[in-house]
């Protein structure tokens, strides 16, 4: 006989067309019956940790999460203790303070360049590709970087700041194809070492530093997938730094994952295992942070493309796993699989978006001419 927790979860999943121990690839198979109590008391943290612990299986995790999120089951689950704790911490403390700024570099981006080299492809771009005319991951990433360059209207000899430069993907492409000089900053020592080698011989330099310590002028600024680590308490500071570093006739392109609702924290499982101190901004939060500092010239949403990007990363990671498993182990494999496929499901359900926002200090004279 089913206990209360099992009955409650079963009824929820049925609303999304998911059957416990069913035959569809998005159905879940229960390995440990304690799963139901764990999920009811711990929410998403319990669900993710139970998957890492082999308590449940699903052939198609991305579709499982797509169905959960497209049916908005997260609104019906209620508040768990881990979520309450995350909200409390975010309200009381500045989780993205300067003192804590390097934590995400140490715990995520410094995991091992071997993982990211295998997963990300030749561009080493760790953000959403632009699949408009692309025939694969590498071409989608090159198209995304070229789109950024064209939106900024880069000219040879210009100086460009890349806030959160990753492994140097934008810097390398922009320097090689547009003849610009790029300064990239990162909080990851592994990214820094890789990027310096990746861009060797080009007019590119990298620094291990927090954005708050920047104070020099650039023709243009780009920030790809970095503001997700800034936090709502620091958005205004972040924008003020960008404003003081941007020339009066320059452009600032912000590329970010976006949430449909304003919040001050992130999913407890994601915070604990993937991106510590992370937070997805809403349009309301971004627009509030630029008020009086920038003119919003252009907004481009291609969030649906992140589903394709994440699935490509997952297939690369899964294919390379035989080379990686001795170093990282089974729990890491299940954690990373859960991360990539749950995110793919979220973008497929359109509960997460991807925005490119072009900002100017004073408004482009005559109007900004967008490109797509």
Catalytic residues: 343
Give the rounded distance of the alpha carbon of 362 from its chain centre.
29
Among 284, 287, 282, 222, which Cα is nearest to 250's?
222
Radius of gyration from C-alpha coordinates of the chain: 21
**Side-chain half-sphere of 105: how many Cα atoms within 13 Å?**
24
Kind and range of the H or E run holding 258: strand 246-259
Residue 83 to residues 40, 55, 323: CA-CA distances in angstroms?
Answer: 12, 21, 36
Q: Are strands 204-208 and 181-186 parallel, antiparallel or unpaired?
A: parallel
Q: Which H, E and C letters describe 151-175, residue by residue?
A: HHCCCCCCEEEEECCCCCHHHHHHH
**Side-chain half-sphere of 52: how many Cα atoms within 13 Å?**
17
User: Whole-angstrom Cα distance, residue 176 to residue 215?
Assistant: 26
């Amino acid at each position: 006989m089913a206990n209360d927790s099992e009955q409650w979860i079963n009824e929820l999943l049925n609303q999304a067309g998911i059957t416990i121990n069913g035959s569809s690839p998005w159905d879940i198979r229960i390995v440990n019956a304690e799963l139901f109590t764990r999920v009811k008391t711990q929410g998403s943290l319990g669900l993710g940790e139970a998957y890492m612990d082999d308590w449940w299986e699903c052939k198609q995790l991305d579709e499982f999460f797509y169905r959960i999120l497209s049916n908005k089951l997260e609104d019906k689950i209620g508040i768990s203790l881990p979520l309450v704790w995350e909200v409390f911490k975010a309200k009381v403390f500045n989780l993205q303070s300067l003192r804590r700024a390097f934590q995400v570099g140490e715990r995520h981006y410094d995991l091992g360049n071997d993982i990211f080299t295998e997963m990300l492809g030749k561009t080493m771009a760790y953000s959403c590709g632009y699949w408009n005319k692309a025939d694969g991951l590498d071409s989608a990433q090159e198209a995304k970087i070229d789109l950024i360059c064209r939106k900024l209207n880069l000219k040879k000899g210009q100086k460009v700041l890349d806030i959160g430069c990753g492994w140097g993907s934008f810097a390398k492409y922009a320097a090689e194809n547009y003849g610009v000089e790029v300064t990239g900053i990162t909080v990851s020592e592994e990214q820094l070492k890789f990027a310096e080698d990746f861009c060797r011989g080009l007019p590119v330099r990298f620094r291990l530093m927090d954005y708050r310590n920047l104070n020099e002028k650039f023709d243009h600024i780009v920030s790809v997938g970095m503001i997700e680590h800034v936090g709502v308490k620091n958005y205004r500071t972040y924008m003020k730094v960008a404003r003081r570093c941007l020339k009066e006739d320059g452009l600032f392109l912000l590329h970010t994952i976006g949430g449909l609702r304003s919040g001050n924290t992130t999913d407890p499982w994601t915070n604990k295992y993937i991106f510590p101190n992370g937070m997805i901004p809403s349009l309301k939060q971004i627009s509030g942070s630029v008020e009086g500092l920038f003119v919003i010239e252009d907004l481009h949403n291609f969030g649906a493309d992140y589903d394709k990007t994440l699935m490509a990363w997952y297939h690369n990671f899964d294919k390379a796993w035989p080379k990686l498993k001795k170093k990282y182990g089974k729990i890491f494999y299940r954690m990373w699989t859960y991360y990539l496929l749950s995110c793919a499901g979220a973008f497929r359900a359109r509960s997460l978006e991807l925005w490119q926002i072009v900002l100017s200090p004073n408004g482009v004279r005559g109007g900004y001419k967008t490109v797509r």
